[in-house]
Chain A
Amino acid sequence: MGNIPEIRNYTFNFGPQHPAAHGVLRLILEVDGETIVRADPHVGLLHRATEKLAESKPYNHTIGYMDRLDYVSMMCNEHGYVLAIEKLLGIAPPVRAQYIRVMFDEITRILNHLLWLGAHGLDIGAMTMFLYAFREREDLLDCYEAVSGTRMHATYYRPGGVYRDLPAQMPQYKVSKWHNEKQVVEMNENRQGSLLDFIWDFTQRFPKRIDEYESLLTENRIWKQRTVGIGVIGPEQAIAMGLTGPMLRGSGVEWDLRKKQPYEVYDQLDFAIPVGATGDCYDRYLVRIEEMRQSNHLIRQCVRWLRDNPGPVMTDNRKVAPPTRLHMKEDMEAMIHHFKLMSEGYCLPEGEAYAAIEHPKGEFGVYLVSDGANKPYRLKIRAAGFPHMAALETLIKGHMISDVVAVLSSLDIVFGEIDR
């Protein structure tokens, strides 16, 4: 007696500055030996009160804040916000703008899934994935830059359409002290035509690249040991926990807003919804890989349509969209419209609307309450990652400490949107 040491559960701190915390997550973990007994995520370290900021600004000023929510799928956030405004205004963008939006939504989905794949691989120990994923992301970020002028925070979608039409010439590299003439010629090889040609070229290369990723991971023994049977969640529980997107589809629920509640032109395009079987980390990986292939397929359909169908990309409703510079010089009314839109913005009719899109991470919803003013009265962002983060404790209870990182990165969380 008396020699038996008292065995207690050990509580320790994970993050907020931890490379596998995907941003700033503080996780209080209680372990019994190596087994997780309790996990208490402390979020909000990146809380910027985006929703309150939006209440103090005219509607269009907030589009830029949307990019900064989930900063790896920028245009999709804008899309949700813009759709909510359009729903309340009762306007629809021109068809060409809808195709452009769909195309960039899918480009964004690939961007998001690539970053997820790279980070997920890095967390589990497959470092090559990160380098591969960023190689492809570079091309897609160039598409962002070509169309909006910025590589990440695009502010490209506007209520009533998109800011401008796709450029006819893809920007090219110039000779610099880092790249000599020979290199530049090589780098500009697929940039000779328009942006659409560049995207088309990408979609031709990309499926082979996905095969490369898969040849590294899908049948990899270590990868499977780390992900198969880890963080399992069944379909009923996933629905009750509010999981959406690949998290829900990984559990075998065939639910995709692009199919079930189609917006823009998704109902006219051909694509499939991949679903998993067991709802573990491995299935979520497979679902996301297949989603990248489907996105690639969707982008090709959009490129084909956009090549054949020129047209306006912005509504001609001058109470919402500013007139062209040329009009403003000649037309008094156009100038007044421009002045009012740039200073005061536009008012939304009194009411409320909830618009949801299939964001790369799940359902991204925007709940907008308007009292008839030029600013939102209340803007609530239903971030896809928020309920996923809340489900973390359920997912990792009973697992080993090392699985925390695998499960955490399989959630595909970004704190910009969780903390808002």
Chain B
Amino acid sequence: MLSIEELSTKVSTRFGRLLEQSILANGELTIVVASQHLQEVCLALRDETAFDFKALMDVCGVDYLQYGISEWETNSATTTGFERGVEVGALQNAPLKQPRFASVYHLLSLTNNQRIRIRVFLNESDLKVPSVVDIWPSANWFERESFDLFGIFYIGHPDLRRLLTDYGFIGHPFRKDFPLIGNVEARYDAKLQRVVYEPVSITPRILEPKVIRRDNRYEVGE
């Protein structure tokens, strides 16, 4: 069995310029691929015996809109002090250094007992990625879910319908700019004798602000 380092070099030599990036961290290998090369890379990873990734365990979307932005700045607190209350909307959407969305694939090889992660970055203006349903049938529902929750279009998917949200749902709820409490609430209207949807009547609240600490106290892992 290959170690993860050996797999990393093997993947790098096999795909070379097709990989935008290859990251080895926490004992896991992540490769970043452009969407136009995704199918080529996936087919090779599935069919070549050196890789033999016959199983696709997971596909999911990631929205990097607020990545690395905290709700509560603490670095300057010693000089200025800060107050407890955090306004909603404190998470300002800073200009992104990378494309906003990503589609992430987790592969598993049962024969080589190895895992690999593929990430495809996607710009908000061009949210399209080729579907891998033809390569792994298990991608079917995972891609539908990702489409439903993030609005990523999987081109070539035979049946790209919403999966988890309600019939007639509007929006993609797992995007970072979609409010946690949603946009509409449902109520039974006795007069109309049916369920009606209205704008939410509660105001969102931040219970525990998001704080990013990069000081040495958090350098654990001896």
Which residues on A are within 8 Å of B, measured CB to CB? Answer: 43-44, 47, 49, 51-53, 56-58, 61, 87-91, 236, 239-242, 244, 253, 255, 260-261, 317, 319-320, 343-347, 349-354, 356, 363, 365, 367, 369, 371-375, 377-378, 380, 382, 386-387, 389-390, 394, 419-420
Within 8 A of A (CB), among B45-88: 54-58, 60, 62-63, 66-68, 70
Q: A242-B56, A242-B57, A260-B113 are in contact. Are A58 and B208 (CB under 8 A)?
A: yes
CB-CB under 8 A for A253 and B110, given A43-B163, A53-B180, A419-B164: yes
Given A354-B115, A354-B117, A382-B106, residue A349 in contact with residue B218 (CB < 8 A): yes
Known: A239-B55, A369-B62, A390-B141. A351 touches B136 (CB 8 A): no
Give the interface SS of chain B, mostly helix, strand, loop or mixed.
loop
CA distance A61 to B210 in the complex (A): 13
CB within 8 Å of A: which residues of B?
A: 25-28, 30, 54-58, 60, 62-63, 66-68, 70, 104, 106, 110, 113, 115, 117, 136-138, 140-142, 162-166, 173-174, 180, 206-208, 210-214, 217-222
CA distance A354 to B196 in the complex (A): 41
Within the complex, which residue of B60, B166, B221 is in contact with A367, where a contact is CB–CB below 8 Å?
B60
Partner pick for B218 among A52, A319, A380, A394, CB 8 A cutoff: A319
| Cα A372 to Cα B163 with chains together (Å) | 31
- A390→B138 contact, CB < 8 A: yes
Contact across chains for B212 and A347 when beta carbons are under 8 A apart: yes
Instruction: Give the shortest distance, in Å, between A42 (CB) and chain B (any CB).
Output: 8
Known: A261-B113, A380-B58, A380-B60. A371 touches B164 (CB 8 A): no
Asked if residues A347 and B110 are in contact (CB atoms below 8 Å), the reply is: no
Residue numbers in B under 8 Å from A51 (CB-CB): 174
- Give Cα distance in the complex from A371 to B26, angstroms: 15
Beta-carbon contact of B164 and A372 below 8 Å: no
Are A382 and B218 within 8 A (Cβ)?
no
Question: What's the least CB distance linking B214 to chain A, in Å?
Answer: 6
In the complex, chain B residues whose CB is within 8 Å of the CB of A88:
26
Chain A residue at minimum C-beta to C-beta distance from B211: A374
Closest Cβ neighbor of A353 among chain B residues: B26
The answer to whether B218 and A44 have CB atoms under 8 Å apart is no
Going nearest first, the 3 A-B pairs with the smallest beta carbon separation are: A90-B221, A242-B138, A44-B164
